[in-house]
């Protein structure tokens, strides 16, 4: 982990964070923001964080904010940051982070010479007053953001152009997650009961996705290669470039650890209902120990997908019980990490425990950020943990092929069929064909057998 306790001190709690390719930004319990530089490369492990600065947040009146920052999100170009305070107030402030390697404060092109981190730019003082902010997200172009709370209030705030202003949309159920489609034409809002699209051109009126309600904090998000999740044998022509170009694709979490794969036409005059193309139920491996800790004595008997976020070519699911990485192309959960289920203490030393007085699901959601193929999580030890997902299609194929081979086949299959399904090379060829790439190298069953024998021999010495 990259511990930040030495910078913040024991009296200050870090409640929220977000990441860019060069920086990690954290919101604190006293209303200030801490900025760290990342030392990283795509194909290398995440390096230690380097503290750069702490800045105060200016309010509309010109004073400095002194209340807890429970959520924050960087704009796509990292020149703005939207902050959510514990009382429900939202603010947009300027950022001047620089873009040098390792967090050096080199001026960012286009940031403007007069930008000052923390300077007030816009705010939404009343729409969410007294509510708990549950989700916050920028549009891909960085010209708008969307926010949801536990009272069912959604705000879409456009910061420029003819439609500039705040638009408030009310729902009957708490909002679990908000985000935007890849083209920014509509916001995705997932409440505790239903999934909706809010189209810009339609004044952000509600358009339902699917007709089957559910009950719980299930999320939804777009993904650049979501169309690759169409199951094998189900209208495979929909996976082609033409189909992907003609639709926006997104996922919605469902009960029973399932995912809806949905699409909607884009670049059209009409505002279409979302179409549920398929329901996916990825296979499940054994649990993995959370960062810095051990598996709890009792694993959760039942857990669901929660908020979902793109992480490289995969999907990250965040719930109050489990953090999981999903390969939606291969139909497998690559890894799942049980979270601390205690209310006030860590059951796993150094693990991912999130109380902060905000509730476990809320704190974990706001204490987590994804950038590229890496997720950053606030740990119960006062540090920041990094979770690395496969960063290329080849790396993903390799991981899923090994899992599929380890799962094997059912006893009703012939010996030849069982041997085929236990061969990682078969799964690598099958999955690589879906991505249109050369199969990556994976060990043969004989190689796996030799490795197992060597390990057993070493353990016995």
Residue-wise pLDDT for 34-60, tens only, equals: 999 998 777 678 888 899 999 999 988
DSSP code of residue 4: -
What residues does each domain of the chain span? Answer: 9-125, 396-460
What pLDDT, on the 0 to 100 scale, is given for residue 173?
96
Under the banding of pLDDT at 50, 70 and 90, the label for residue 224 is: very high
Mean pLDDT of the 131-144 span: 96
Both tokens assigned to 407:
């799962």
Task: Write out the two tokens for 356.
Answer: 């902060």
pLDDT on residue 7: 86
Q: Per residue in 332-390, pLDDT tens?
A: 999 999 876 443 334 333 445 443 433 333 345 678 999 999 999 987 767 888 999 99
Q: Report the percentage of the chain scoring pLDDT > 90.
A: 57
Residue 34's closest CA among 101, 83, 76, 1? 83
8 Å CB contact between 332 and 403: yes
pLDDT above 80 (res 244):
no
Residue with tokens 């209303």: 31
* Whole-number pLDDT of residue 94: 93
Nearest to 318 by CA among 112, 122, 130, 179: 179
279-300: average pLDDT = 83
Mean pLDDT to the nearest integer, 167-181: 96
Mean pLDDT within 425-439: 95
- Residue 9 is predicted with a pLDDT of 80
pLDDT class of 196 with cuts at 50, 70, 90: very high
pLDDT digits (tens, 9 = 90+) for 346-359: 433 344 544 343 33
Supply the pLDDT for residue 265: 86
pLDDT at 237 over 60: no
Q: What residues pair up with 19 in beta bridges, in sequence order?
A: 24
Cα 409 from chain centroid (whole Å): 32
pLDDT of residue 203: 87
Residue with tokens 């492990």: 45
* pTM for this predicted structure: 0.88
The pLDDT > 70 percentage for the chain reads 82
Per DSSP, helices labelled H in 206-311 are: 241-246
Q: How far apart are CA 55 and CA 33, in angstroms?
A: 5
Mean pLDDT of the chain: 84
pLDDT for the residue 3: 63
**Mean pLDDT for the stretch of residues 127-141:** 95
The CATH T-level fold of domain 9-125 is Lipocalin (2.40.128)
First to last CA, the chain: 33
How does strand 374-378 pair with strand 275-280?
Answer: unpaired
């Amino acid at each position: 982990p990259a511990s930040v306790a030495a910078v913040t001190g024991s009296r200050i709690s870090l409640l929220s964070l977000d990441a860019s390719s060069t920086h990690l930004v954290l919101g604190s319990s006293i209303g200030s923001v801490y900025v760290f530089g990342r030392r990283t490369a795509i194909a290398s492990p995440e390096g230690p964080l380097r503290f750069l600065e702490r800045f105060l947040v200016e309010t509309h009146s010109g004073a400095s904010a002194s209340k807890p920052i429970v959520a924050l999100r960087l704009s796509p170009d990292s020149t703005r940051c939207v902050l959510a305070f514990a009382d429900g107030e939202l603010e947009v402030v300027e950022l001047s982070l620089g873009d040098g390697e390792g967090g050096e404060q080199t001026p960012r092109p286009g940031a403007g010479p007069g930008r000052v981190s923390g300077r007030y730019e816009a705010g939404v003082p009343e729409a969410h007053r007294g509510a708990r902010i549950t989700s916050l997200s920028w549009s891909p172009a960085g010209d708008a953001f969307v926010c949801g709370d536990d009272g069912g209030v959604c705000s879409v705030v456009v910061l420029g152009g003819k439609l500039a202003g705040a638009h408030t949309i009310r729902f009957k159920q708490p909002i679990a997650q908000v985000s935007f489609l890849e083209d920014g034409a509509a916001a995705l809002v997932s409440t505790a009961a239903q999934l909706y699209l809010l189209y810009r051109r339609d004044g952000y009126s509600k358009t339902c996705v699917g007709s089957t309600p559910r009950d719980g904090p299930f999320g939804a998000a777009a993904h650049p290669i979501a169309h690759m999740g169409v199951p094998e044998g189900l209208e495979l022509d929909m996976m082609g470039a033409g189909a992907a170009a003609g639709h926006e694709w997104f996922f919605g979490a469902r009960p029973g650890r399932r995912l809806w794969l949905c699409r909607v036409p884009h670049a059209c005059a009409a505002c279409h209902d979302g179409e549920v193309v398929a329901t996916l139920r990825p296979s499940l491996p054994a649990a993995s120990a959370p960062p810095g800790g051990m598996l709890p004595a009792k694993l959760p008997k039942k857990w669901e997908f929660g908020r979902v976020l793109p992480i490289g070519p995969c999907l990250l699911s965040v719930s109050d019980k489990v953090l999981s990485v999903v390969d939606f192309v291969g139909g497998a959960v690559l890894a799942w990490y049980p979270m601390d289920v205690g209310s006030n203490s860590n059951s796993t030393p150094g693990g991912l425990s999130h109380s902060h007085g905000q509730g476990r699901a809320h704190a974990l959601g706001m204490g987590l950020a994804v950038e590229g193929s890496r997720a950053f999580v606030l740990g119960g030890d006062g540090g920041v943990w990094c979770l690395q997902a496969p960063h290329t299609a080849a790396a993903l194929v390799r991981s899923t092929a090994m899992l599929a081979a380890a799962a094997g086949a059912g006893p009703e299959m012939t010996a030849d069929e069982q041997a085929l399904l236990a061969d990682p090379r078969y799964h690598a060829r099958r999955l690589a064909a879906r991505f249109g790439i050369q199969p990556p190298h994976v060990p043969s069953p004989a190689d796996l057998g030799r490795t197992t024998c060597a390990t057993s021999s070493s353990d016995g010495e």
